[in-house]
A and B are shown apart, each in its own frame.
Chain A
């Protein structure tokens, strides 16, 4: 009773100041289609929230300076050694701050999950052609979010100034340097000079905790606003047309399910952070110019670039007395082309597509066999590159020669994608045939049982306030209906 009174008074107070009633009503009635594959983006969103929360705590203890000090702290094997202030603050978080190691590990695991979720979400969008009109802009924003996430992840673990990430930073420096004409300028701009440079670390810190998260948050807001405004797409099914949306209302069930997912994602990350060690910077040791370790990789989401770097043969381009180094092709050109293709995809697809007007009903993956095959092929390509990024561990696992593994992967990266694409194509065609046959069967039976008692009474079509409408429901004609 008391909670109801408080709730009522609070909502009245807000409404009297903001005229929120109408919006609140339409918001609470907002329809969200029910399918687990529509929650993948939410997983990314919630892991981002975990990142912000844990990251804020860490930022209060991290000291972003590469000035060298003598370490005297809890980790005995480094006592008396010269380490950077940043590295010392990380060891402080790990060994002195209460629950510091837990929060740090949760932050890093959340980053890994964040990127897997973005990848899964992006794959779903691609395979169901959800990037079509009017959602092209959302695809572009989503891709930009991916790029920002990749960049922020790289900065995040490189700020710690340990040997593993310091190795990665060397490689990053070399990659920037390899860009023709502008390479040295860009390198000196971003890193402040040749590495190691005292300007690099504070710069990464400012970008990592402020600029990039702000961009991500802003773009995320836009991303979510557009989904809200355009209404989510539906899988094909009964009553699901270009002019109607079927799902459950935001209040109360969808809210509960979403909050539940948030807590569960948070919980899985907490379990990972507590039970599985990640990035033990004390074992790696501090970055030092003369130090180097074997078995160094970036985090998994950059493993495809690392793999491309390992597989690409030593071919550089001499143009007179200018040089395009061998690192440029796998590390700059290939990713740029890939992202260029991804960014332009909705518009390229439109050239070949017969769809007209707004597309609010998704395509099943098997209904677009060529595209699905292409997507599967691309995914295989990236997966082989990812495996190549860890080819030294593959060699260790089989106690074999890394040179041989590299040769095998070089062949696989060229041969694998066409094979899996062909396989996917054939599978799609098969599934399509099967579904078509089943649909024909269902249509035949439904025609003869219009008044069947087994057909459940379907809910009435409503407007966005939940009021029933009288509308002739047409098949998707592709033409925008009048308002």
Chain B
């Protein structure tokens, strides 16, 4: 199936319009069905044996209401159910044919299955409408609560049983302690489900002196990027790691406004921040080069690259942890320490 161009997108009609459309569609369909059935009924002879079933009490009711009237209703009803059931059978055969012929065309399989199911469903409903009598019933509701007598009898049965048990208080205490102990035993099994939060949650990932490498392990140097370009980098020993991913951006050096203690962290305009959003953990992949802004695609948090990834809008509250950088003697870009904070979304004990 071809996709359409963006320009062709139609704005969705309001709910009211959709309802009206649906209603008129149904009306149209129903009037077509009625028309067809009326026309067909006129073609049939007066007496026919399409419907035959043994007499029951309900039959007598029906006969009392006017034999000629009801049999016409029967005829229309029979025609309708027969028609829709035939459609359903067609759908079913179509499905079997499509399936066994080895097609993988989901539309044919689904369409024929839908035809079968809807056909049989409509058949049953039409049967209820046309070929069953509608008798309303009025029934007395029994009150949900039991009678006082029954309640007392049940309470007595319980109390009598209780009184048969000797040393009840001891039993109660044993029950409570036993259940409590058993509960503790069961809950202990939960320990196997997860390790308790350990220092991995607090890790700052990078070690001083580690080289910044791309996804394929290529180290980067001061000539790798031009202002306005970015790369996704990792420490050498954690390539592809979720929490270690770092975004390396080169900006024009004179535009940077890092805090004083981080002045040496950006050689030649290279800055590196954790790529994991501090809001909900999505990789902050969108770099808007003109505004030097990192945008997280999940909830549209923005971080100012020039100001140590301070959050400037959207739901994030904490800046992206920054990675100190320096250029080593062999020209490669290296980390000057770990991130300023554990990467990723915040939690209770994060410092």
Chain A residues with CB under 8 Å of chain B are 4, 29, 31, 34, 95, 98-99, 101-102, 105-106, 134, 167, 170-171, 173-175, 177-181, 183-185, 187-196, 199, 203, 229-231, 239, 242-249, 252-253, 256-257, 259-264, 266-268, 270-275, 288-296, 306, 309-316, 321-327, 330, 358, 360, 391-392, 397, 402-403, 406, 458-464, 466, 469, 471, 480-483
Contacts and interface: CB of A to CB of B under 8 A. Distances in A.
A245 B110 contact: no
A392 B137 contact: no
A263 B116 CA distance: 9
A316 B114 contact: no
A391 B298 CA distance: 11
A175 B301 contact: no
A230 B135 contact: no
Contacts of A289: 240-242, 245, 283
A173 to B, nearest CB: 6
B90 interface: no
Interface residues of B, number: 84
A243 B229 CA distance: 77
A167 B213 CA distance: 24
A364 B176 CA distance: 48
Given A316-B317, A461-B138, A290 B245 contact: yes
22 contacts: A31-B139, A170-B280, A174-B281, A177-B346, A188-B195, A243-B141, A244-B139, A245-B138, A246-B139, A253-B133, A263-B124, A271-B111, A271-B118, A274-B106, A289-B283, A309-B315, A323-B347, A392-B297, A406-B300, A461-B139, A466-B137, A481-B143
B351 A321 contact: yes
A224 to B, nearest CB: 16
B316 A326 contact: yes
Contacts of B29: none
Given A245-B141, A321-B351, A313 B315 contact: yes
B22 interface: no
Nearest to B234: A290
A463 B118 contact: no
A179 B144 CA distance: 43
A194 B118 contact: no
Contacts of A358: 143-145
Top 8 A-B residue pairs of the complex, sorted by shortest distance between their CB atoms: A274-B110, A263-B121, A267-B117, A267-B118, A325-B346, A260-B125, A184-B197, A174-B345
Nearest to A189: B194
Contact of B279 (A106, A174, A275): A174
Interface of B: 9, 11, 54, 99, 102, 104, 106-111, 113-125, 127-128, 132-145, 147, 190, 193-197, 200-201, 215, 232, 240-243, 245, 279-283, 285-286, 297-301, 311, 313-318, 344-351
Given A264-B121, A309-B315, A327-B346, A273 B283 contact: no
A188 B196 contact: yes
B111 A244 contact: no
Contact of B242 (A196, A229, A459): A196
A273 B139 CA distance: 42
B281 A192 contact: no
Given A174-B344, A177-B347, A271-B110, A193 B121 contact: no
B110 A270 contact: yes
Nearest to B53: A4
Contacts of A174: 279-281, 344-345
B277 to A, nearest CB: 9
A321 B299 CA distance: 27
A403 B285 contact: no
Contact of B106 (A105, A189, A360, A403): A105
A171 B280 contact: yes
Given A257-B125, A289-B240, A323-B346, A248 B117 contact: no
Contacts of B279: 174, 314, 326-327
Nearest to A229: B144
Given A290-B232, A291-B283, 14 more contacts: A99-B109, A134-B145, A188-B194, A189-B194, A248-B135, A253-B133, A257-B128, A267-B117, A289-B245, A294-B286, A314-B317, A325-B346, A327-B279, A471-B140
A40 to B, nearest CB: 16
Residue of B137, B143, B195, B215 with most chain A CB atoms under a 10 A cut-off = B137
Given A173-B281, A290-B215, A231 B114 contact: no
Contacts of B133: 253
